[in-house]
């Protein structure tokens, strides 16, 4: 089975976590599946050819058994684009292979309400979902949002990054304490200017204070960035405190970093999602509607921390202390059970949506035969 997977191939490694999750899910059903990866929009490595264009659809009709569009908050737009999928709407009428939507979510700026889509974006989102054999929503907030648009076929399928592994909790974990830093836009971004410069910067300073305290207590601490763009700011914040800040180049390098962690404090959604798949205890900074959706979906309220709370530094230290003591094991085990149940439900939906037969390419005739 050959899959054409369109996703945001950015420098943010979290986007690639989602791709790995989708690939792992498909291969549990079809171990022979191969993936060809394409940019879903202009933010990726290919700034010329990207998105679901007529050419991309014709290529898929010739060469693929299915198209998957999946990754991060593609339903969110900005002043530079209507939403995260570059779509030539007329091309969908030519599509002859199944279309599956997985791991797509809505989003927002730092501490802001859900993004409001433009009229044209809503039209395109509805059209894409109409043509999809499977319309999977990343979280409960996204599911409600899609239903509000009249897309009632949408199903809750969870974050694919949470399904990469299926580890069970281990008592008395050992290893380093991992701090996954928030993106630098939460320090200096222009959107939500006042929130960013008050609550955002207070959050960064609380993380620096936490690392200093953990080091003083003799803990082994690793600070990581998910995007190279975040490195300069993060290195300046920890100058004189840590010898280095890491920015893993591949998802597999990051998975190794996570799997050998005692616990994680994450300012990144998909780092927390992979930690959940590895059953590594974590605290997630609830910075936007994406993290809010993840927390609600997996009932992780005891693992979330609002950056807007008073005395963020004290609150973060208290949450971290609970992690280190291994408190609330029953709540953590419930979240793992929910992860497993959602994975089972999503795998059943995916199994029904994937084509049963495999298409083969006739290079001489230039068309697809079954």
Q: 12-26, pLDDT tens digit by residue? A: 999 999 999 999 999
pLDDT digits (tens, 9 = 90+) for 286-319: 999 999 999 999 999 989 999 987 899 999 999 9
Mean pLDDT in residue range 321-331: 80
Average pLDDT, whole number, for the chain? 92
How many helices (H) and strands (E) would you count in the chain? 13, 13
Q: How many CB atoms lie under 10 A from the CB of residue 215?
A: 14
Q: Is the dihedral of CA 362, 54, 137, 248 positive or negative?
A: positive
Mean pLDDT for 221-227 is 98
Whole-number pLDDT of residue 22: 98
pLDDT at 191: 73
Q: Is the pLDDT at 188 greater than 80, yes or no? A: yes
Residue 123 phi/psi, 5° resolution?
-60, -45
Mean pLDDT of the region 277-287: 96
Its pTM stands at 0.93
What is the sign of the dihedral through the CA atoms of 231, 193, 202 and 73?
Answer: negative
Q: What is the pLDDT of residues 28-47, one digit of tens each?
A: 999 999 999 999 999 888 77
Q: What is the mean pLDDT of residues 277-289?
A: 96
pLDDT digits (tens, 9 = 90+) for 98-107: 999 999 999 8
The CB-side HSE value for 289 (13 A sphere, CA atoms) comes to 21
CA dist 12 and 183 (Å) reads: 10
- Look at residue 231 in the predicted model and tell me its pLDDT: 97
The pLDDT score that the predictor gives to residue 361 is: 37
pLDDT score at 359: 43
Tell me what pLDDT residue 72 has: 81
Residue (of 157, 190, 142) closest to 346 by Cα position: 157
* pLDDT at residue 111, as a whole number: 83
Residue 362's pLDDT is 33
Determine the Cα–Cα distance for residues 15 and 290; give it in Å rounded to an integer. Answer: 13
Question: What domains does the chain contain, in order, with CATH numbers?
Answer: 2-162+340-360 (3.40.50), 176-333 (3.40.50.2000)
Radius of gyration of the chain (CA): 21
Q: Which residue has the higher pLDDT, 205 or 189?
A: 205
CB burial class (10 A; 0-12, 13-18, 19+) of residue 26? buried
358 band by pLDDT with thresholds 50, 70 and 90: low
pLDDT digits (tens, 9 = 90+) for 105-118: 998 888 888 888 89
Question: Which pLDDT does position 357 carry in this prediction?
Answer: 62
Q: What is the pLDDT of residue 369?
A: 30
């Amino acid at each position: 089975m050959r899959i054409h997977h369109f996703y945001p191939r950015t420098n943010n490694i979290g986007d690639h976590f989602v791709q790995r999750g989708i690939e792992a899910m498909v291969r549990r059903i079809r171990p022979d599946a191969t993936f060809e990866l394409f940019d879903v929009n202009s933010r990726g490595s290919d700034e010329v050819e990207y998105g679901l264009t007529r050419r991309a659809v014709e290529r898929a009709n010739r060469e693929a058994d299915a198209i998957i569009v999946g990754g991060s908050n593609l339903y969110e737009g900005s002043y530079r684009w209507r939403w995260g999928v570059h779509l030539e709407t007329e091309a969908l009428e030519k599509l002859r292979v199944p279309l599956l939507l997985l791991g797509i979510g809505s989003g927002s700026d730092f501490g802001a309400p859900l993004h409001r889509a433009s009229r044209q974006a809503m039209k395109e989102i509805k059209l894409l979902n109409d043509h999809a054999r499977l319309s999977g929503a990343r979280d409960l907030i996204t599911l409600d949002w899609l239903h509000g648009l009249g897309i009632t076929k949408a199903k809750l399928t969870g974050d694919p990054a949470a399904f990469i592994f299926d580890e069970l909790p281990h008592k008395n974990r050992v290893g380093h304490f991992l701090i996954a830093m928030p993106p630098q836009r939460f320090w200096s971004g222009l959107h939500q200017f006042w929130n960013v410069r008050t609550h955002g910067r207070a959050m960064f300073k609380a993380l620096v204070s936490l690392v200093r305290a953990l080091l003083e207590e003799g803990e082994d601490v690793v600070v990581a960035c998910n995007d190279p763009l975040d490195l300069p700011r993060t290195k300046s914040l920890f100058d004189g405190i840590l010898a280095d800040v890491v920015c893993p180049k591949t998802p597999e390098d990051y998975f190794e970093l996570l799997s050998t962690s005692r616990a994680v404090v994450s300012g990144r959604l998909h780092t927390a999602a992979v930690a959940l798949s590895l059953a590594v205890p974590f605290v997630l900074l609830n910075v936007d509607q994406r993290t809010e959706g993840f927390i609600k979906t997996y009932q992780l309220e005891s693992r979330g921390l609002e950056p807007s709370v008073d005395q963020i530094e004290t609150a973060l230290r208290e949450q971290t202390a609970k992690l280190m003591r291994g408190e609330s094991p029953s709540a953590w085990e419930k979240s793992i059970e929910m992860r497993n149940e959602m994975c089972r439900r999503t795998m059943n939906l995916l199994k029904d949506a994937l084509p049963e037969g495999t298409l083969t390419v006739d290079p001489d005739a230039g068309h697809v035969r079954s």
